[in-house]
Amino acid sequence: MIELKTPDEIEQMRPAGRFVAETLTALADAADVGVNLLELDRLAHDRIRAAGAESCYIDYHPSFGAMPFGKVLCTSVNDAVLHGLPHDYRLRDGDLLSVDFAASVNGWVADSALSVIVGTPRDEDARLIDVTMRALDAGVAAARTGSKIGDISAAIAQVARGAGYSINTDFGGHGVGRTMHGDPHIPNDGRAGRGYPLRPGLVVAIEPWFLQSTDKIVTDADGWTLRSADGSRGAHMEHTIAITEDGPLVLTAR
């Protein structure tokens, strides 16, 4: 069921958005050569405790997960792009790291993700991240009262296809509120003018993710981490936004 938030409820969601944005910034700053993925997860866990927030991930167990997630971050490295389960791995020079983080503050959820290059960048990785960020910006710009879900999807796809990337629609954006995942689903490809109409009070996460040379994914042995089928690298960007009469409000702006 799709739920619309009142202006007061959207204001109540701002602290969650700020907390998630500030935590992702801290994690991006901490991601350096030699840093263990488990250290990043501990950093996020410490921030959750200090803020009196709640993790949306640690007990998360959807139908596609092999078990409760058990960590507070998704850390996906190189050919991993989504749902990366933090494990004993030290970041290396040139790694492409995607971090996805969601938390609840005062009962309201925000969800966001970013991708960064650790150490020395590779041109193809920098381009992939740039295109993914531009696709997110295009999706947000299309999220206006009177438009449709398909307008967001089409705007994302136009950026990706213009850069030569194919698109997987198994996972995408979603509604956000008291829980992390709700209706509507927002695929990263679609037809403009189609789908659910965007109304003031709709709060969603928009999250483009692309792989360098495929749109096929496989599940890692940990039962969670999704990797490219051909070993190519991936990037992931996400913001939680609210639809308002004045345009999209990015609650997780960094």
Asked if 10 and 240 count as a contact pair (C-beta separation under 8 A), the reply is no
Of 165, 209, 164, nearest to 186 (Cα)? 209
What is the secondary structure of 172-193 as a DSSP string? Answer: -EEE-SSSSSEEEEE-SS--TT
Binding-site residues for substrate: 83, 181
Q: What angle do CA 176, 183, 149 make, to 5 degrees?
A: 100
Binding-site residues: 83, 100, 111, 174, 181, 207, 238
**What's the alpha-carbon Rg for the chain, to the nearest Å?**
17
- Would you state the structure tokens that stand for residue 46, as one six-digit string? 């410490």
Binding-site residues for a divalent metal cation: 100, 111, 174, 207, 238
Asked if 83 and 225 count as a contact pair (C-beta separation under 8 A), the reply is yes
Which stretches within the chain are classed as H helix?
Answer: 7-30, 37-51, 123-141, 149-162
The dihedrals phi and psi of 253, each to the nearest 5 degrees, come to -60, 135
How far is Cα 241 from Cα 248, in angstroms, rounded to an integer?
A: 6
Name the amino acid, one letter, at 35: V
- Would you state the structure tokens that stand for residue 96, as one six-digit string? 């492409």
